[in-house]
Structure 1
């Protein structure tokens, strides 16, 4: 895209439309990008260990008190509101490109069936919300003694 278009209403409208299309695809568990790029905020890393499912949400500039973390029916939800940068609110500042998303946000992660909703720990470290969800004991691999 031509750099002259950045910071214009046209660019803002296109980005808004793209976000709406991406959200529509995400609601169906799909992605609108062939590379499976997720453009949601916050960015997430999701993985597992032998004992836990791990989620890291990257939330720089947000205070932990501004976040809500809930779980319901196997869905882990991270919600909050990112305020704009003070300098961007000044009338004499001309912004040519704005890549940092602001406003309310919500991310929902569907946890696997073997996640234990009663065993969740969350901590906020250096702008990262780190969430650990224990796996149910019954789902963990175990050795079975063979009688002979």
Structure 2
């Protein structure tokens, strides 16, 4: 009698293997096209008066976000709780099977180097609708100014 050396559903097995490898190397794709090390997604820009940083972090408690400036480096850190069910439904201690998990959970830390003219004493931060906005003013001596010709 003939027995196959391959599992009956080869494609399902290959799909499982691919998910295992992606999870092991943290290469899972996201909407942003980068791995999980990129949470929260950042936009950083500048005006003549300030450096503006936007961190897209929906679902966070603003009190859990820590913003610090130390020697020209702005650091954002915090923790995002998992939204997956725990499986403690009472009857059995079975964990739920998760087929896709693309939402980041856990601790995060992002750092951004600031330009030399950033004023660490003039920083504001606000969180609204899942977006953290940090504004760092530039020093007055670095502001562009118009000089009148006599």
TM category, shorter:
0.7 to 0.9
Name the TM-score, length of structure 1 as normaliser.
0.75
- Between structures 1 and 2, the one with greater helix share: 1
In the TM superposition, 1:1-148 aligns within 5 A as: 4-5=15-16, 8-15=19-26, 18=27, 39=35, 40-87=38-85, 89-90=86-87, 91=94, 93-147=96-150
Q: How many residues align?
A: 126
More displaced 10-residue stretch of structure 1: 97-106 or 37-46 = 37-46
Structure 1 residue runs of 5 or longer lacking an equivalent are 20-36
Q: TM-score scaled to structure 2, two decimals?
A: 0.74
Structure having the higher Rg: 2
In 2: Cα distance, 1:125 partner to 1:77 partner: 19
- Change in CA separation of 1:6 and 1:49 when aligned onto 2, cut-off 3 Å: farther
Cα deviation digits, residues 32-59 of structure 1 (max 9, x gap): xxxxx76411100101122111001111
Over the residues paired in the alignment, what is the CA RMSD in angstroms?
A: 2.3
Partner of 2:121, secondary structure, is strand
